[in-house]
Amino acid sequence: MLKNDGDRSAIEKQIHKYIDVISRSEANLLLPLFTQGGIVMAPDAPTMEGFDQLRAFFDYGFTSIKLVPEVFIDEIVVDDDYAFARCHSEVRVTVLETNATHLEANRELFVFKKESGEWKIARYMFNKAPRAA
């Protein structure tokens, strides 16, 4: 169902760029990875839409926590100018105020849209993975 290896490679590159920028806590470098009307749906937070809300969300988050994520891509599906990537991640989270650190596992879903020949994040949603029984 993949359009071609070039699309898959470009999407993988965008995911890894997103994770790299998250680990560097640089909101200004995240925004160009999203479409103009990009949306982030995070647990226990309102839906953020558009550059202004995304910047506020990431700026606030980066003043509160430091994230060091490792992402694993489970699936990429491409259909014309849209694609989705299903991933899971292991994240070391440090609360900056207390310097307390914990690990969490997340499930992630990226929806990409091709704009002017470049894959950009149109929607991003994540939640905590359930603990293994």
Coil, strand, or helix at residue 2? coil
pLDDT in tens, 88-125: 999 999 999 999 999 999 999 999 999 999 999 999 99
Residue 133 belongs to some domain of the structure: no
Residue 70 belongs to some domain of the structure: yes
Residue 122 belongs to some domain of the structure: yes
CATH of the domain at 88: 3.10.450.50
Q: Residue holding tokens 């990009």?
A: 38
Q: Give residue 130's pLDDT band: very low, low, confident or very high (50, 70, 90).
A: confident
Q: How many domains does the chain have?
A: 1
Q: Which domain holds residue 51?
A: 5-127
Nearest residue to 61 (alpha-carbon basis) of 111, 32, 35, 24:
24
The total of other beta-carbon atoms located within 10 Å of residue 19's CB is 19
Q: Is the pLDDT of residue 85 over 70?
A: yes
- pLDDT for 5: 80
Residue 132 belongs to some domain of the structure: no
Cα-based angle 5, 7, 8 (whole degrees, multiple of 5): 65
pLDDT in tens, 7-38: 999 999 999 999 999 999 999 999 999 999 99
Alpha-carbon gap, residue 51 to 31, rounded angstroms = 6
Q: Give residue 3's pLDDT band: very low, low, confident or very high (50, 70, 90).
A: very low
Mean pLDDT of all residues in 43-57: 95
